A and B are shown apart, each in its own frame.
Chain A
């Protein structure tokens, strides 16, 4: 029997240490040091990026313009990564952009995941009608690729951070809902579910207690992947002008502005581009790594 056909590992109310603790313990082990440190750095950078935007006295770091010192290359005096077209410091711009990317990423992932779980369980466990309805809703959402959704939202409420969050969240949830539904379909046939239902446990409780717990590994892996896709998504939308607007820093914005000045200086394109690529590469690899740890049977498809 191929591994792909194996049953999901039952987690349920388990003896011994709670799942979260066990996962944490494995994560912090020697072999995973690289991933843990890298994620920590990313996290610190992101938080720093958010902090400088939120704390008023720090905003000058990325907002200060200096029109006589534009397009400075990296390692210039006072600006370790150079300046942009308005003389703003690239390092702080990039950090701010990273903060935006990560906060959007985390926010979008959480929304998608919660929506996906709720709808997926609803469709998979609460009867035929519920299933049919969820399938239609999922399919309709599916008709709008991320960018199209963003276009629609941008048209509706105008380009902004909210537009980006809404568009990306609604793009991701449908795919995740499908995965969840698939899992629920196989989980609901398991004996412990039947036992609970015979005992009169309401479906909602079964869902929360058993399904969600079993879905945690899948969810954690998908969150990481979603953060990666959201970062790309936000950058892409801002790149098009449909997302974050100046003066909020965004890697996509820097990239798109930099395009117009390619002949003068490549740094406004290269720096955010490399940062984006590295960040996504790391996150994807982290997701793969997590998947190997938590889901060795390969039930999760990345897309």
Chain B
């Protein structure tokens, strides 16, 4: 479909522009890198120069950018300035963990959020509905790192029910995934509920009833499908948020994913790693957004006309 091509083409343009951003931001002045890798006072000048030459730090800026972008595209991610490990290795070892965590959180948030939202809409204004809405509000207000740290305190330290560090077994995934999923879950519940309520009172439900279609079918076949548009739009935004918050949650729970690597790289002034990882993260966000738009178009015919879900 033409739309898919143009949309992803645009995504690529955006990623390229973003790469300029990551480059400018993270390429940094060689001075700071040098001082974090070497003890300048005691290291011979020749060693420093050799190091600079090896990492291409003496070339003009645009040459360096070109190297940066062409290398990434061809898969040559360079070497860490600090640990001398290939960045590609760092990437491949950590991406799996991040994907696991983000994926689990996404599933939790939507898998639990949509049904809860639907039920809240169907049982509108009942005690259940009000409880759900209040819970969503509260969960939404507690920042996830606060929630995470408090849970580490209560469940990890005091109750010792679940582990709070490392990524050995599936148990290690539970707490971080729950913490990461909390905010998206509340938003999903809210959005689903609102969308469902809106569609439940739409004109077409009246027509369907006039044709004798059962309430159950109207709800699950027609109303749900019409609500999907809003939910998918939300999903796209949530992927972006998830990828961002993963960084935080990984640090709290010492989960060895992309996030921890990135933060450490920045704090250690390891630009080689930071540039690549941050661009990859940004690219993931952009691609997810493009994918979301494509899915939205597939699901909701109205989008093809107006360009937005109702």
Listed in ascending order, the chain A residues whose CB lies under 8 Å from chain B are 2, 4, 136, 139-140, 142-148, 151-156, 159, 228, 232, 235-236, 239-242, 252, 255, 258-259, 262-263, 266, 269-270, 272-273, 276-277, 280-281, 284-285, 303
For B84-104 the 0/1 string (1 means CB < 8 A from A) is: 000000000000000000000
| B residues near A285, Cβ cutoff 8 Å | 137
| A residues near B244, Cβ cutoff 8 Å | 145-148
Are A277 and B143 CB-contacts (below 8 A) given A145-B243, A242-B263, A284-B137? yes
Is there an interface contact between B245 and A277, defined as CB atoms closer than 8 Å?
A: no
Is there an interface contact between B157 and A144, defined as CB atoms closer than 8 Å?
A: no
| B residues near A156, Cβ cutoff 8 Å | 24-26, 28
Is there an interface contact between A155 and B24, defined as CB atoms closer than 8 Å?
A: no
For B206-244 the 0/1 string (1 means CB < 8 A from A) is: 000000000000000000000000000000010011011
A-B complex: 10 closest residue pairs judged by Cβ atoms: A145-B244, A152-B25, A281-B141, A273-B146, A155-B26, A232-B143, A143-B282, A277-B142, A156-B25, A147-B244
Taken together as a complex, chains A and B put the C-alpha atoms of A2 and B199 apart, in Å, by 11
| A residues near B285, Cβ cutoff 8 Å | 142-145, 148
| A residues near B266, Cβ cutoff 8 Å | 151, 154-155, 242
Taken together as a complex, chains A and B put the C-alpha atoms of A144 and B24 apart, in Å, by 14
Is there an interface contact between A155 and B269, defined as CB atoms closer than 8 Å?
A: yes
Is there an interface contact between A151 and B149, defined as CB atoms closer than 8 Å?
A: no
Taken together as a complex, chains A and B put the C-alpha atoms of A156 and B33 apart, in Å, by 11
Taken together as a complex, chains A and B put the C-alpha atoms of A269 and B251 apart, in Å, by 16
Are A269 and B153 CB-contacts (below 8 A) given A145-B240, A155-B274? yes
Chain B nearest CB: distance from A294 CB in Å? 19
Beyond known contacts A151-B263, A269-B153: 5 more, CB 8 A cutoff? A143-B283, A241-B267, A259-B149, A272-B146, A284-B137
Taken together as a complex, chains A and B put the C-alpha atoms of A235 and B271 apart, in Å, by 24
Is there an interface contact between B145 and A142, defined as CB atoms closer than 8 Å?
A: no
| B residues near A277, Cβ cutoff 8 Å | 141-143, 146
For B146-181 the 0/1 string (1 means CB < 8 A from A) is: 100110110001000000000000000000000000
A-B residue pairs in contact (CB < 8 Å), sample of 29: A4-B198, A136-B17, A140-B17, A142-B286, A143-B14, A145-B243, A145-B285, A155-B25, A155-B26, A155-B266, A155-B271, A156-B25, A156-B28, A235-B143, A235-B145, A240-B248, A252-B145, A255-B145, A259-B152, A262-B157, A266-B157, A269-B150, A269-B153, A270-B150, A273-B149, A276-B146, A277-B142, A285-B137, A303-B187
Our pick among B21, B141, B243 for the contact of A140 (Cβ within 8 Å) is: B21
Is there an interface contact between A142 and B262, defined as CB atoms closer than 8 Å?
A: no
